Structure 1
Amino acid sequence: MEFTLTGLRVVRAVAECGTFSAAAESLGYTQSAVSRQIAAVEKAAGAAVFERKREGAAPTAQGRVILRHAARVLDEMDAVERELRGLPTETGHVRLGVIPSAGAVTVPRALTILRRTYPGITVTTREGSTPALTRSLRAGTIDLALLAAVPPFRAPDTEKPALVVETLIERPLRVAVPVTDPLADNDSVDIKELAGRRWIASRSSGDEPLLGVWPGLPERPEIAHLTRDWLAKLQLVAAGFGFTTVPASMAEAVPVGVRLLTVRGGPAELRRLTVAHLPKHRTEPVTRVLEALRAATRQS
Protein backbone atom coordinates (compact mmCIF):
# COMPACT_ATOMS: atom_id res chain seq x y z
CA MET A 1 0.00 0.00 0.00
CA GLU A 2 1.61 3.27 -1.11
CA PHE A 3 0.06 6.72 -1.15
CA THR A 4 1.55 9.81 -2.75
CA LEU A 5 1.41 13.27 -1.24
CA THR A 6 -0.29 14.51 -4.41
CA GLY A 7 -2.91 11.81 -4.11
CA LEU A 8 -3.59 12.72 -0.47
CA ARG A 9 -3.89 16.41 -1.34
CA VAL A 10 -6.39 15.57 -4.07
CA VAL A 11 -8.44 13.39 -1.71
CA ARG A 12 -8.52 16.22 0.80
CA ALA A 13 -9.55 18.75 -1.86
CA VAL A 14 -12.42 16.56 -3.13
CA ALA A 15 -13.70 16.03 0.43
CA GLU A 16 -13.49 19.75 1.12
CA CYS A 17 -15.03 20.96 -2.14
CA GLY A 18 -17.69 18.25 -2.45
CA THR A 19 -17.17 17.49 -6.16
CA PHE A 20 -14.34 16.40 -8.45
CA SER A 21 -14.83 19.44 -10.69
CA ALA A 22 -14.67 21.92 -7.81
CA ALA A 23 -11.57 20.20 -6.44
CA ALA A 24 -9.92 20.39 -9.86
CA GLU A 25 -10.62 24.12 -10.04
CA SER A 26 -9.24 24.75 -6.55
CA LEU A 27 -6.05 22.82 -7.29
CA GLY A 28 -5.54 24.10 -10.83
CA TYR A 29 -5.85 20.56 -12.23
CA THR A 30 -8.01 19.12 -14.96
CA GLN A 31 -10.93 16.99 -13.82
CA SER A 32 -9.38 13.94 -15.50
CA ALA A 33 -6.17 14.49 -13.49
CA VAL A 34 -8.19 14.55 -10.27
CA SER A 35 -9.98 11.35 -11.31
CA ARG A 36 -6.63 9.65 -12.01
CA GLN A 37 -5.26 10.62 -8.61
CA ILE A 38 -8.37 9.35 -6.83
CA ALA A 39 -8.19 6.10 -8.81
CA ALA A 40 -4.56 5.66 -7.75
CA VAL A 41 -5.42 6.24 -4.07
CA GLU A 42 -8.32 3.78 -4.30
CA LYS A 43 -6.03 1.19 -5.90
CA ALA A 44 -3.51 1.62 -3.08
CA ALA A 45 -6.27 1.44 -0.46
CA GLY A 46 -8.00 -1.51 -2.09
CA ALA A 47 -11.34 0.19 -1.58
CA ALA A 48 -13.46 3.08 -2.82
CA VAL A 49 -12.52 6.38 -1.18
CA PHE A 50 -15.56 8.33 -2.34
CA GLU A 51 -19.16 7.42 -2.96
CA ARG A 52 -20.21 9.09 -6.21
CA LYS A 53 -23.64 10.67 -5.89
CA ARG A 54 -25.64 12.91 -8.20
CA GLU A 55 -25.11 15.87 -5.87
CA GLY A 56 -21.37 15.23 -5.46
CA ALA A 57 -18.80 12.96 -3.82
CA ALA A 58 -18.99 11.84 -0.19
CA PRO A 59 -16.13 10.02 1.61
CA THR A 60 -16.69 6.35 2.36
CA ALA A 61 -15.70 4.83 5.71
CA GLN A 62 -12.31 3.99 4.19
CA GLY A 63 -12.08 7.52 2.79
CA ARG A 64 -12.64 9.03 6.23
CA VAL A 65 -9.79 6.93 7.64
CA ILE A 66 -7.47 8.17 4.89
CA LEU A 67 -8.59 11.78 5.43
CA ARG A 68 -7.95 11.58 9.16
CA HIS A 69 -4.35 10.48 8.66
CA ALA A 70 -3.78 12.59 5.54
CA ALA A 71 -4.45 15.78 7.52
CA ARG A 72 -1.57 15.01 9.89
CA VAL A 73 0.80 13.88 7.13
CA LEU A 74 0.18 16.94 4.95
CA ASP A 75 0.50 19.33 7.90
CA GLU A 76 3.84 17.74 8.79
CA MET A 77 5.09 18.02 5.23
CA ASP A 78 4.05 21.67 5.10
CA ALA A 79 6.07 22.23 8.29
CA VAL A 80 9.09 20.49 6.73
CA GLU A 81 8.83 22.71 3.66
CA ARG A 82 8.66 25.85 5.78
CA GLU A 83 11.68 24.80 7.87
CA LEU A 84 13.76 24.02 4.79
CA ARG A 85 12.90 27.46 3.42
CA GLY A 86 14.17 29.02 6.63
CA LEU A 87 10.70 30.02 7.84
CA PRO A 88 9.61 29.44 11.42
CA THR A 89 7.47 26.38 12.00
CA GLU A 90 3.98 27.45 13.00
CA THR A 91 3.64 25.94 16.42
CA GLY A 92 0.46 27.17 18.05
CA HIS A 93 -1.27 27.59 14.71
CA VAL A 94 -5.07 27.26 14.52
CA ARG A 95 -7.02 27.27 11.24
CA LEU A 96 -10.46 28.84 11.74
CA GLY A 97 -13.32 28.66 9.24
CA VAL A 98 -15.72 31.61 9.41
CA ILE A 99 -19.16 32.34 7.97
CA PRO A 100 -19.24 35.92 6.56
CA SER A 101 -21.50 37.38 9.26
CA ALA A 102 -19.12 36.24 12.03
CA GLY A 103 -16.18 37.99 10.44
CA ALA A 104 -17.47 41.49 11.11
CA VAL A 105 -17.58 41.50 14.92
CA THR A 106 -17.02 38.12 16.58
CA VAL A 107 -13.74 37.13 14.95
CA PRO A 108 -11.89 40.47 15.35
CA ARG A 109 -12.99 40.63 18.99
CA ALA A 110 -11.89 37.04 19.68
CA LEU A 111 -8.50 37.57 18.02
CA THR A 112 -7.97 40.72 20.07
CA ILE A 113 -8.66 38.76 23.27
CA LEU A 114 -6.34 35.97 22.13
CA ARG A 115 -3.51 38.39 21.27
CA ARG A 116 -3.76 39.83 24.77
CA THR A 117 -3.93 36.50 26.61
CA TYR A 118 -1.93 34.11 24.41
CA PRO A 119 0.16 36.16 21.96
CA GLY A 120 2.13 33.10 20.82
CA ILE A 121 -0.89 31.51 19.14
CA THR A 122 -1.34 32.25 15.45
CA VAL A 123 -4.80 32.05 13.86
CA THR A 124 -5.50 32.02 10.15
CA THR A 125 -9.06 32.33 8.88
CA ARG A 126 -10.94 31.13 5.84
CA GLU A 127 -14.41 32.35 4.89
CA GLY A 128 -17.12 30.06 3.55
CA SER A 129 -20.71 28.92 3.82
CA THR A 130 -21.78 26.56 6.60
CA PRO A 131 -21.89 23.50 4.27
CA ALA A 132 -18.49 24.33 2.75
CA LEU A 133 -16.86 24.83 6.15
CA THR A 134 -18.39 21.60 7.42
CA ARG A 135 -16.75 19.76 4.53
CA SER A 136 -13.46 21.51 5.35
CA LEU A 137 -13.64 20.22 8.93
CA ARG A 138 -14.17 16.70 7.65
CA ALA A 139 -11.29 17.07 5.21
CA GLY A 140 -8.97 18.29 7.96
CA THR A 141 -8.12 21.60 6.30
CA ILE A 142 -9.46 23.66 9.22
CA ASP A 143 -9.44 22.98 12.97
CA LEU A 144 -12.51 24.97 14.04
CA ALA A 145 -15.49 26.42 12.21
CA LEU A 146 -17.93 29.20 13.09
CA LEU A 147 -21.22 28.07 11.56
CA ALA A 148 -24.77 29.38 11.24
CA ALA A 149 -27.75 27.35 12.42
CA VAL A 150 -31.48 27.87 11.90
CA PRO A 151 -34.49 26.14 13.48
CA PRO A 152 -34.95 23.22 14.05
CA PHE A 153 -31.17 23.40 14.69
CA ARG A 154 -30.06 20.11 13.22
CA ALA A 155 -26.46 18.91 13.16
CA PRO A 156 -24.34 20.44 10.38
CA ASP A 157 -24.18 17.08 8.59
CA THR A 158 -25.06 13.41 9.05
CA GLU A 159 -21.55 12.01 8.68
CA LYS A 160 -19.94 9.89 11.40
CA PRO A 161 -18.42 10.58 13.81
CA ALA A 162 -20.71 13.46 14.66
CA LEU A 163 -19.09 16.88 14.93
CA VAL A 164 -18.83 18.48 18.35
CA VAL A 165 -21.02 21.59 18.11
CA GLU A 166 -21.33 24.33 20.73
CA THR A 167 -23.78 27.23 20.60
CA LEU A 168 -21.99 30.53 21.15
CA ILE A 169 -24.96 32.85 20.77
CA GLU A 170 -28.67 32.59 19.91
CA ARG A 171 -30.58 35.73 18.99
CA PRO A 172 -33.61 36.73 16.89
CA LEU A 173 -32.96 37.67 13.29
CA ARG A 174 -33.35 41.42 12.62
CA VAL A 175 -34.41 43.38 9.57
CA ALA A 176 -32.23 46.29 8.50
CA VAL A 177 -34.06 49.38 7.21
CA PRO A 178 -32.82 52.85 6.20
CA VAL A 179 -33.24 55.48 8.90
CA THR A 180 -35.14 57.58 6.37
CA ASP A 181 -37.93 54.99 6.17
CA PRO A 182 -40.98 55.69 8.43
CA LEU A 183 -40.60 52.18 9.89
CA ALA A 184 -37.30 53.26 11.46
CA ASP A 185 -39.20 55.41 13.95
CA ASN A 186 -40.03 52.24 15.92
CA ASP A 187 -38.04 49.42 17.53
CA SER A 188 -40.07 46.71 15.80
CA VAL A 189 -42.18 46.10 12.74
CA ASP A 190 -45.08 43.77 12.01
CA ILE A 191 -44.33 41.18 9.33
CA LYS A 192 -47.32 42.49 7.36
CA GLU A 193 -45.54 45.84 7.00
CA LEU A 194 -42.74 44.13 5.11
CA ALA A 195 -45.07 43.26 2.25
CA GLY A 196 -44.21 44.92 -1.05
CA ARG A 197 -40.71 45.91 0.05
CA ARG A 198 -37.58 45.61 -2.09
CA TRP A 199 -34.84 43.34 -0.73
CA ILE A 200 -31.07 43.16 -0.89
CA ALA A 201 -29.96 39.54 -0.78
CA SER A 202 -27.21 37.00 -1.44
CA ARG A 203 -27.76 34.59 -4.30
CA SER A 204 -28.81 31.08 -3.28
CA SER A 205 -26.65 28.12 -4.27
CA GLY A 206 -26.96 24.38 -4.08
CA ASP A 207 -25.94 24.26 -0.43
CA GLU A 208 -27.39 27.43 1.08
CA PRO A 209 -30.65 29.34 0.70
CA LEU A 210 -31.28 32.89 -0.46
CA LEU A 211 -30.02 35.14 2.34
CA GLY A 212 -31.28 38.62 3.09
CA VAL A 213 -35.03 38.24 2.57
CA TRP A 214 -37.22 37.93 5.65
CA PRO A 215 -38.32 34.25 5.90
CA GLY A 216 -41.98 33.41 5.59
CA LEU A 217 -43.17 36.42 3.62
CA PRO A 218 -46.64 35.68 2.18
CA GLU A 219 -45.55 36.87 -1.27
CA ARG A 220 -42.81 36.40 -3.80
CA PRO A 221 -40.17 38.93 -2.70
CA GLU A 222 -38.81 41.56 -5.03
CA ILE A 223 -35.02 41.23 -5.08
CA ALA A 224 -33.55 44.60 -5.99
CA HIS A 225 -29.86 43.78 -5.51
CA LEU A 226 -27.80 40.59 -5.17
CA THR A 227 -24.45 40.62 -3.36
CA ARG A 228 -22.58 38.35 -0.95
CA ASP A 229 -20.75 41.28 0.63
CA TRP A 230 -22.24 42.36 3.97
CA LEU A 231 -20.84 45.88 3.77
CA ALA A 232 -22.35 46.33 0.30
CA LYS A 233 -25.73 45.10 1.56
CA LEU A 234 -25.77 47.48 4.50
CA GLN A 235 -24.57 50.46 2.49
CA LEU A 236 -27.33 49.80 -0.06
CA VAL A 237 -29.82 49.77 2.82
CA ALA A 238 -28.39 53.03 4.19
CA ALA A 239 -28.80 54.61 0.75
CA GLY A 240 -32.46 53.62 0.71
CA PHE A 241 -32.36 50.91 -1.97
CA GLY A 242 -34.03 48.15 0.03
CA PHE A 243 -34.19 46.08 3.22
CA THR A 244 -32.06 43.10 4.26
CA THR A 245 -31.84 40.70 7.19
CA VAL A 246 -29.02 40.84 9.73
CA PRO A 247 -27.99 38.48 12.55
CA ALA A 248 -28.18 40.27 15.89
CA SER A 249 -24.48 39.46 16.46
CA MET A 250 -23.64 41.95 13.68
CA ALA A 251 -25.43 44.89 15.32
CA GLU A 252 -22.19 46.68 16.22
CA ALA A 253 -21.05 46.63 12.59
CA VAL A 254 -24.15 48.33 11.22
CA PRO A 255 -23.21 51.66 9.58
CA VAL A 256 -24.76 55.06 10.16
CA GLY A 257 -28.00 55.32 8.21
CA VAL A 258 -29.25 51.82 9.06
CA ARG A 259 -31.60 50.80 11.87
CA LEU A 260 -32.18 47.21 13.00
CA LEU A 261 -35.73 46.23 13.91
CA THR A 262 -37.23 43.14 15.46
CA VAL A 263 -40.15 41.60 13.57
CA ARG A 264 -43.53 40.78 15.12
CA GLY A 265 -45.89 38.17 13.72
CA GLY A 266 -45.07 34.83 12.21
CA PRO A 267 -42.78 32.21 13.77
CA ALA A 268 -39.77 33.32 15.80
CA GLU A 269 -36.79 33.56 13.47
CA LEU A 270 -33.94 32.60 15.78
CA ARG A 271 -30.37 32.28 14.52
CA ARG A 272 -27.44 30.60 16.23
CA LEU A 273 -23.75 31.14 15.84
CA THR A 274 -22.07 27.84 16.65
CA VAL A 275 -18.51 26.58 16.75
CA ALA A 276 -17.74 23.06 15.56
CA HIS A 277 -14.78 20.71 15.47
CA LEU A 278 -14.05 17.03 15.02
CA PRO A 279 -14.43 14.81 18.10
CA LYS A 280 -10.74 14.24 18.69
CA HIS A 281 -8.27 15.37 21.29
CA ARG A 282 -8.07 19.15 21.11
CA THR A 283 -4.68 20.78 21.08
CA GLU A 284 -3.94 23.51 23.61
CA PRO A 285 -4.04 26.28 20.96
CA VAL A 286 -7.45 25.11 19.69
CA THR A 287 -8.77 25.14 23.27
CA ARG A 288 -7.48 28.70 23.77
CA VAL A 289 -9.13 29.89 20.54
CA LEU A 290 -12.42 28.33 21.71
CA GLU A 291 -12.11 30.21 24.99
CA ALA A 292 -11.52 33.48 23.14
CA LEU A 293 -14.56 32.90 20.92
CA ARG A 294 -16.73 32.26 23.98
CA ALA A 295 -15.45 35.42 25.63
CA ALA A 296 -16.04 37.45 22.47
CA THR A 297 -19.67 36.37 22.16
CA ARG A 298 -20.29 37.02 25.87
CA GLN A 299 -19.34 40.64 25.19
CA SER A 300 -21.92 40.95 22.39
Structure 2
Amino acid sequence: MVNPVHLRTLVEVTRLGSFAAAATRLGYTASAVSQQMSALERDTGVVLFQRSARSVQPTDAAQVMTRHASKVLTDIDALLAASSRTHAATSQELRLGIFPSLATYVLPRLLRSPSWPDLGINLKVSVAEPGQTIQGLRTGGELDVALVYQVGQSGLAWPHTVSRQWIGDDNFRVVLPKSWGIQANAEVNAAQLNDVPWIMHHPGTPDAMVIERLFASCNLHPQVAVHSDDFNASLQLASVGLGAALVPELALQNRPDGVVVLDVPEIRLARNIFALLINDKATAQVGVFVDRLSGILNELSRDTRLG
Protein backbone atom coordinates (compact mmCIF):
# COMPACT_ATOMS: atom_id res chain seq x y z
CA MET A 1 0.00 0.00 0.00
CA VAL A 2 1.41 3.38 -1.02
CA ASN A 3 1.88 5.81 1.87
CA PRO A 4 0.24 9.23 1.18
CA VAL A 5 3.11 10.90 3.09
CA HIS A 6 5.51 9.51 0.48
CA LEU A 7 3.32 10.85 -2.33
CA ARG A 8 3.39 14.33 -0.80
CA THR A 9 7.16 14.12 -0.56
CA LEU A 10 7.39 12.98 -4.20
CA VAL A 11 5.41 16.02 -5.32
CA GLU A 12 7.81 18.35 -3.49
CA VAL A 13 10.96 16.59 -4.75
CA THR A 14 9.76 16.78 -8.34
CA ARG A 15 8.61 20.38 -7.98
CA LEU A 16 11.78 21.64 -6.28
CA GLY A 17 14.29 19.45 -8.10
CA SER A 18 16.28 17.93 -5.24
CA PHE A 19 16.00 15.87 -2.07
CA ALA A 20 17.68 18.65 -0.07
CA ALA A 21 15.27 21.35 -1.22
CA ALA A 22 12.27 19.11 -0.55
CA ALA A 23 13.69 18.28 2.88
CA THR A 24 13.97 21.99 3.70
CA ARG A 25 10.44 22.66 2.46
CA LEU A 26 8.90 19.75 4.39
CA GLY A 27 11.05 19.93 7.52
CA TYR A 28 12.70 16.53 6.99
CA THR A 29 16.34 15.61 6.65
CA ALA A 30 17.64 14.91 3.12
CA SER A 31 18.33 11.35 4.26
CA ALA A 32 14.71 10.94 5.36
CA VAL A 33 13.48 12.18 1.97
CA SER A 34 15.80 9.72 0.23
CA GLN A 35 14.49 6.88 2.42
CA GLN A 36 10.88 7.82 1.64
CA MET A 37 11.56 7.86 -2.11
CA SER A 38 13.32 4.49 -1.92
CA ALA A 39 10.32 3.08 -0.05
CA LEU A 40 7.97 4.50 -2.70
CA GLU A 41 10.06 2.89 -5.45
CA ARG A 42 9.85 -0.45 -3.62
CA ASP A 43 6.10 -0.13 -3.11
CA THR A 44 5.39 0.76 -6.75
CA GLY A 45 8.13 -1.26 -8.48
CA VAL A 46 9.07 1.85 -10.49
CA VAL A 47 12.43 3.66 -10.69
CA LEU A 48 11.58 7.28 -9.92
CA PHE A 49 15.02 8.90 -9.79
CA GLN A 50 18.41 8.49 -11.44
CA ARG A 51 20.88 9.03 -8.60
CA SER A 52 24.48 10.16 -8.87
CA ALA A 53 27.03 11.45 -6.37
CA ARG A 54 26.01 15.06 -7.06
CA SER A 55 22.35 15.03 -8.07
CA VAL A 56 19.08 13.18 -8.47
CA GLN A 57 17.09 13.39 -11.69
CA PRO A 58 13.38 12.49 -11.85
CA THR A 59 12.58 9.84 -14.46
CA ASP A 60 9.67 10.15 -16.85
CA ALA A 61 7.83 7.73 -14.57
CA ALA A 62 8.35 10.15 -11.65
CA GLN A 63 6.82 13.00 -13.66
CA VAL A 64 3.79 10.89 -14.52
CA MET A 65 3.41 9.61 -10.97
CA THR A 66 3.69 13.15 -9.60
CA ARG A 67 0.75 14.30 -11.71
CA HIS A 68 -1.32 11.36 -10.51
CA ALA A 69 -0.13 11.82 -6.91
CA SER A 70 -1.31 15.44 -6.85
CA LYS A 71 -4.75 14.36 -7.97
CA VAL A 72 -4.84 11.40 -5.57
CA LEU A 73 -3.92 13.58 -2.60
CA THR A 74 -6.59 16.11 -3.51
CA ASP A 75 -9.15 13.33 -3.91
CA ILE A 76 -8.18 11.77 -0.57
CA ASP A 77 -8.71 15.06 1.26
CA ALA A 78 -12.03 15.65 -0.51
CA LEU A 79 -13.22 12.08 0.12
CA LEU A 80 -12.42 12.22 3.80
CA ALA A 81 -14.07 15.60 4.20
CA ALA A 82 -17.20 14.35 2.43
CA SER A 83 -17.20 11.15 4.47
CA SER A 84 -16.91 13.11 7.69
CA ARG A 85 -19.83 15.32 6.75
CA THR A 86 -21.98 12.37 5.66
CA HIS A 87 -21.22 10.27 8.74
CA ALA A 88 -20.87 13.04 11.29
CA ALA A 89 -22.86 11.02 13.81
CA THR A 90 -20.41 8.10 13.70
CA SER A 91 -16.85 8.08 14.93
CA GLN A 92 -14.06 5.56 15.23
CA GLU A 93 -12.68 4.95 18.68
CA LEU A 94 -8.90 5.07 18.64
CA ARG A 95 -6.89 3.98 21.67
CA LEU A 96 -3.63 5.86 21.32
CA GLY A 97 -0.35 5.36 23.16
CA ILE A 98 1.98 8.34 22.85
CA PHE A 99 5.27 9.41 24.42
CA PRO A 100 5.33 12.57 26.59
CA SER A 101 6.97 15.19 24.35
CA LEU A 102 4.75 14.28 21.38
CA ALA A 103 1.72 14.45 23.69
CA THR A 104 2.87 17.82 25.02
CA TYR A 105 3.77 19.69 21.83
CA VAL A 106 2.22 17.93 18.81
CA LEU A 107 -1.07 16.23 19.69
CA PRO A 108 -2.68 19.32 21.31
CA ARG A 109 -2.10 21.34 18.12
CA LEU A 110 -4.05 18.78 16.14
CA LEU A 111 -6.84 18.62 18.70
CA ARG A 112 -7.14 22.44 18.66
CA SER A 113 -7.31 22.63 14.85
CA PRO A 114 -10.68 23.54 13.29
CA SER A 115 -10.62 20.37 11.16
CA TRP A 116 -10.24 17.96 14.09
CA PRO A 117 -14.00 17.41 14.74
CA ASP A 118 -14.50 16.50 11.06
CA LEU A 119 -12.04 13.62 11.27
CA GLY A 120 -14.52 11.50 13.22
CA ILE A 121 -12.14 9.98 15.78
CA ASN A 122 -13.06 9.37 19.41
CA LEU A 123 -9.61 9.48 20.97
CA LYS A 124 -8.56 7.60 24.12
CA VAL A 125 -5.01 8.57 25.12
CA SER A 126 -2.35 6.85 27.20
CA VAL A 127 0.88 8.82 27.75
CA ALA A 128 3.95 6.68 28.46
CA GLU A 129 7.48 5.96 27.26
CA PRO A 130 7.80 3.72 24.16
CA GLY A 131 8.72 0.52 26.02
CA GLN A 132 5.57 0.70 28.10
CA THR A 133 3.39 1.81 25.18
CA ILE A 134 4.49 -1.12 23.01
CA GLN A 135 3.40 -3.49 25.77
CA GLY A 136 -0.11 -2.12 25.26
CA LEU A 137 0.02 -3.38 21.67
CA ARG A 138 1.49 -6.72 22.69
CA THR A 139 -1.29 -7.51 25.14
CA GLY A 140 -3.80 -7.16 22.32
CA GLY A 141 -6.48 -5.13 24.02
CA GLU A 142 -5.19 -1.89 25.50
CA LEU A 143 -4.08 0.12 22.45
CA ASP A 144 -4.76 0.37 18.72
CA VAL A 145 -1.90 2.72 17.79
CA ALA A 146 1.42 3.46 19.52
CA LEU A 147 3.50 6.53 18.68
CA VAL A 148 7.07 5.66 19.65
CA TYR A 149 10.63 6.75 18.99
CA GLN A 150 13.94 4.98 18.53
CA VAL A 151 17.40 6.51 18.95
CA GLY A 152 19.89 4.67 16.75
CA GLN A 153 19.66 0.92 17.17
CA SER A 154 18.50 1.18 20.76
CA GLY A 155 16.96 -2.29 20.98
CA LEU A 156 13.32 -1.21 20.83
CA ALA A 157 11.21 -4.08 19.53
CA TRP A 158 7.57 -4.28 18.48
CA PRO A 159 5.18 -7.10 17.59
CA HIS A 160 5.27 -8.58 14.09
CA THR A 161 1.48 -8.27 13.95
CA VAL A 162 1.53 -4.47 13.59
CA SER A 163 2.47 -2.22 10.69
CA ARG A 164 5.02 0.55 11.12
CA GLN A 165 4.82 4.03 9.56
CA TRP A 166 7.63 6.58 9.87
CA ILE A 167 6.23 10.02 10.69
CA GLY A 168 9.31 12.16 11.27
CA ASP A 169 12.63 12.73 13.00
CA ASP A 170 13.16 14.66 16.24
CA ASN A 171 16.71 15.92 15.78
CA PHE A 172 19.01 16.48 18.74
CA ARG A 173 20.67 19.87 19.20
CA VAL A 174 23.50 21.02 21.44
CA VAL A 175 22.37 23.47 24.13
CA LEU A 176 24.77 25.72 26.08
CA PRO A 177 24.20 28.14 28.95
CA LYS A 178 23.81 31.68 27.62
CA SER A 179 26.08 32.84 30.46
CA TRP A 180 29.03 31.18 28.70
CA GLY A 181 28.92 33.96 26.14
CA ILE A 182 28.65 31.82 22.99
CA GLN A 183 26.20 33.14 20.44
CA ALA A 184 23.36 31.02 19.08
CA ASN A 185 24.26 29.35 15.77
CA ALA A 186 27.96 30.08 16.31
CA GLU A 187 30.35 27.79 14.44
CA VAL A 188 31.53 25.32 17.09
CA ASN A 189 33.09 21.91 16.54
CA ALA A 190 32.87 18.94 18.86
CA ALA A 191 36.49 19.19 20.02
CA GLN A 192 35.82 22.68 21.43
CA LEU A 193 33.27 21.15 23.81
CA ASN A 194 35.72 18.78 25.47
CA ASP A 195 36.65 21.16 28.27
CA VAL A 196 33.15 22.16 29.39
CA PRO A 197 30.83 20.45 31.90
CA TRP A 198 28.02 18.34 30.44
CA ILE A 199 24.56 17.19 31.48
CA MET A 200 24.30 13.55 30.37
CA HIS A 201 21.90 10.61 30.64
CA HIS A 202 22.48 8.11 33.42
CA PRO A 203 25.05 5.49 32.36
CA GLY A 204 23.64 2.26 30.98
CA THR A 205 20.40 3.71 29.61
CA PRO A 206 19.78 3.10 25.87
CA ASP A 207 20.02 6.80 24.98
CA ALA A 208 23.22 7.17 27.01
CA MET A 209 24.94 4.35 25.15
CA VAL A 210 24.03 5.78 21.74
CA ILE A 211 25.17 9.28 22.71
CA GLU A 212 28.42 8.01 24.24
CA ARG A 213 29.26 6.17 21.01
CA LEU A 214 28.45 9.26 18.95
CA PHE A 215 30.60 11.51 21.14
CA ALA A 216 33.49 9.04 21.04
CA SER A 217 33.33 9.02 17.23
CA CYS A 218 33.72 12.83 17.35
CA ASN A 219 36.63 12.57 19.79
CA LEU A 220 34.42 14.25 22.37
CA HIS A 221 34.89 12.96 25.91
CA PRO A 222 32.51 15.00 28.07
CA GLN A 223 33.21 16.02 31.64
CA VAL A 224 29.94 14.97 33.27
CA ALA A 225 28.63 17.43 35.85
CA VAL A 226 25.00 16.25 36.01
CA HIS A 227 23.11 13.06 35.18
CA SER A 228 19.56 13.67 33.98
CA ASP A 229 17.18 11.58 31.86
CA ASP A 230 14.58 14.36 31.79
CA PHE A 231 15.09 16.84 28.95
CA ASN A 232 13.08 19.62 30.60
CA ALA A 233 15.23 19.32 33.71
CA SER A 234 18.38 19.29 31.56
CA LEU A 235 17.28 22.52 29.87
CA GLN A 236 16.58 24.25 33.17
CA LEU A 237 19.90 23.14 34.61
CA ALA A 238 21.72 24.29 31.48
CA SER A 239 20.00 27.67 31.76
CA VAL A 240 21.59 28.27 35.18
CA GLY A 241 25.04 27.34 33.94
CA LEU A 242 25.51 23.75 35.13
CA GLY A 243 26.54 22.38 31.75
CA ALA A 244 25.94 21.74 28.07
CA ALA A 245 23.26 19.26 27.03
CA LEU A 246 22.12 17.33 23.98
CA VAL A 247 18.36 17.83 23.68
CA PRO A 248 15.79 16.90 20.99
CA GLU A 249 14.00 19.66 19.13
CA LEU A 250 10.58 18.84 20.60
CA ALA A 251 11.88 19.61 24.09
CA LEU A 252 13.20 22.93 22.76
CA GLN A 253 9.63 24.10 22.18
CA ASN A 254 9.68 25.13 25.85
CA ARG A 255 13.31 26.14 26.22
CA PRO A 256 14.18 28.69 28.91
CA ASP A 257 15.69 32.08 28.10
CA GLY A 258 19.06 31.22 29.62
CA VAL A 259 20.24 28.83 26.88
CA VAL A 260 21.55 29.06 23.33
CA VAL A 261 21.05 26.36 20.71
CA LEU A 262 23.92 25.30 18.46
CA ASP A 263 24.22 23.12 15.38
CA VAL A 264 27.48 21.19 15.77
CA PRO A 265 28.17 19.53 12.37
CA GLU A 266 29.80 16.39 13.77
CA ILE A 267 26.94 15.70 16.17
CA ARG A 268 24.11 14.23 14.11
CA LEU A 269 21.51 12.24 16.01
CA ALA A 270 17.74 11.96 15.93
CA ARG A 271 14.84 10.25 17.59
CA ASN A 272 13.17 8.42 14.69
CA ILE A 273 9.43 8.59 15.34
CA PHE A 274 7.05 5.85 14.16
CA ALA A 275 3.40 4.99 14.37
CA LEU A 276 2.81 1.31 15.14
CA LEU A 277 -0.70 0.32 14.06
CA ILE A 278 -2.83 -2.73 14.71
CA ASN A 279 -3.60 -3.74 11.14
CA ASP A 280 -7.39 -3.91 11.38
CA LYS A 281 -7.44 -0.42 12.93
CA ALA A 282 -5.47 1.17 10.08
CA THR A 283 -8.46 2.88 8.46
CA ALA A 284 -8.40 5.92 6.18
CA GLN A 285 -9.34 8.08 9.18
CA VAL A 286 -6.38 6.80 11.17
CA GLY A 287 -4.12 7.32 8.15
CA VAL A 288 -5.12 10.99 7.96
CA PHE A 289 -4.71 11.34 11.74
CA VAL A 290 -1.12 10.05 11.56
CA ASP A 291 -0.41 12.14 8.45
CA ARG A 292 -1.54 15.33 10.19
CA LEU A 293 0.55 14.57 13.26
CA SER A 294 3.51 14.10 10.93
CA GLY A 295 2.86 17.48 9.32
CA ILE A 296 2.72 19.26 12.69
CA LEU A 297 5.88 17.51 13.90
CA ASN A 298 7.83 18.56 10.84
CA GLU A 299 6.47 22.10 10.98
CA LEU A 300 7.72 22.41 14.56
CA SER A 301 11.10 20.99 13.55
CA ARG A 302 11.39 23.50 10.71
CA ASP A 303 10.45 26.40 13.01
CA THR A 304 13.07 25.30 15.55
CA ARG A 305 15.81 25.29 12.93
CA LEU A 306 14.77 28.69 11.56
CA GLY A 307 14.53 30.08 15.11
Matched position secondary structure for 2:280:
coil
Aligned to 2:164: 165
* TM-score normalised to structure 1 length: 0.56
Aligned to 2:173: 174
Cα distance, 1:205–1:144 mapped onto 2, change above 3 Å: farther
Aligned to 1:248: 249
Deviation digits for residues 187-223 of structure 1 (CA, Å, limit 9, x no counterpart): 44211122133233443666x3338966324465443
Matched position secondary structure for 2:183:
helix
Aligned to 1:183: 182
Deviation digits for residues 93-141 of structure 1 (CA, Å, limit 9, x no counterpart): 3222222332332222232237744386343433333232222222232
Aligned to 2:125: 125
CA distance in 1, matches of 2:195, 2:281: 52
Residue 260 of structure 1: CA displacement? 1.7
Aligned to 1:272: 272
Residue 265 of structure 1: CA displacement? 2.6
CA distance in 2, matches of 1:190, 1:241: 20
CA distance in 2, matches of 1:188, 1:125: 42
Letter in 2 for 1:264: P
Cα distance, 1:159–1:185 mapped onto 2, change above 3 Å: closer
Is the 8 Å Cα contact of residues 167 and 291 (structure 2) preserved in structure 1?
Answer: no
Q: How does 1:70-81 map to 2 (within 5 A)?
A: none
The structure in which a higher percent of residues are helix is 2
Is the 8 Å Cα contact of residues 184 and 261 (structure 2) preserved in structure 1?
Answer: no
Q: Unpaired runs of 5+ in structure 1?
A: 1-89
Identity %: 22
Candidates 203, 207, 210, aligned match of 2:208: 210
User: Paired residues, what number?
Assistant: 207
CA distance in 2, matches of 1:198, 1:278: 44
Matched position secondary structure for 1:241:
coil
* TM-score normalised to structure 2 length: 0.55
Q: CA RMSD for the aligned pairs?
A: 3.4
Letter in 1 for 2:107: V
Matched, 1:98 2:98: yes
CA distance in 1, matches of 2:180, 2:233: 19
Matched position secondary structure for 2:188:
strand
Matched position secondary structure for 2:126:
strand
Cα distance, 1:167–1:287 mapped onto 2, change above 3 Å: closer
Is the 8 Å Cα contact of residues 138 and 278 (structure 1) preserved in structure 2?
Answer: no
Please list every run of at least 4 consecutive aligned residues from structure 1 whose deviation after the TM superposition is greater than 4 angstroms.
211-214
Q: Unpaired runs of 5+ in structure 2?
A: 1-89, 301-307
